[in-house]
Amino acid sequence: MTFWLLVRGSGERPLEREVDPHGIVSHSSSRRPSVQPGDLAILYAAVWQAIFGVVEVASEPSHDAARAQWAWRFPLRLLALVPDLDRAPAVEAAGIYPQSLWRHSHIRLSPEQFEAARELVETQ
């Protein structure tokens, strides 16, 4: 199993403060992601620089050739959520630093980083 951090939102389109759990159904990437079904991930809110969810990759990534951008997509199963980004823990509290996230839709986490982040999210 591999652990990931999935970047949600952007400078041009930051996430709303209130997170809708029904909106967390998939994640997109511009390149084919290395995720596999069963991998676990932490959701990171860009701009907010906060972690707010724990998810499981539900199946293999699929490619939509009709899309010019973010053509790769994979489904997620939500496991835990901080629904108010004002209450979400800072990403640095899990030992993950925002400068390492620049221009990525997802990055690999160490087991220690994932566990620290999961604990922070689950205790909010």
Q: Are 117 and 109 in contact (CB under 8 A)?
A: yes
CATH code, domain with 15: 3.10.590.10
* pTM summary value: 0.93
- The pair of structure tokens assigned to 59 is 């199946």
Of the candidates 95, 99, 124, which has an alpha carbon nearest to the alpha carbon of residue 3? 95
What is the domain extent for residue 102?
3-122
Q: Tell me if residue 11 falls in helix, strand or coil.
A: coil
Give the tens place of pLDDT for each residue, 54-93.
999 999 999 988 888 888 999 999 999 999 999 999 999 9
Rounded Cα distance between 74 and 63, Å, is 9
Give the tens place of pLDDT for each residue, 88-111.
999 999 998 877 666 678 889 999
Cα 39 versus chain centre, distance: 12
Q: Provide the domain count of the chain.
A: 1
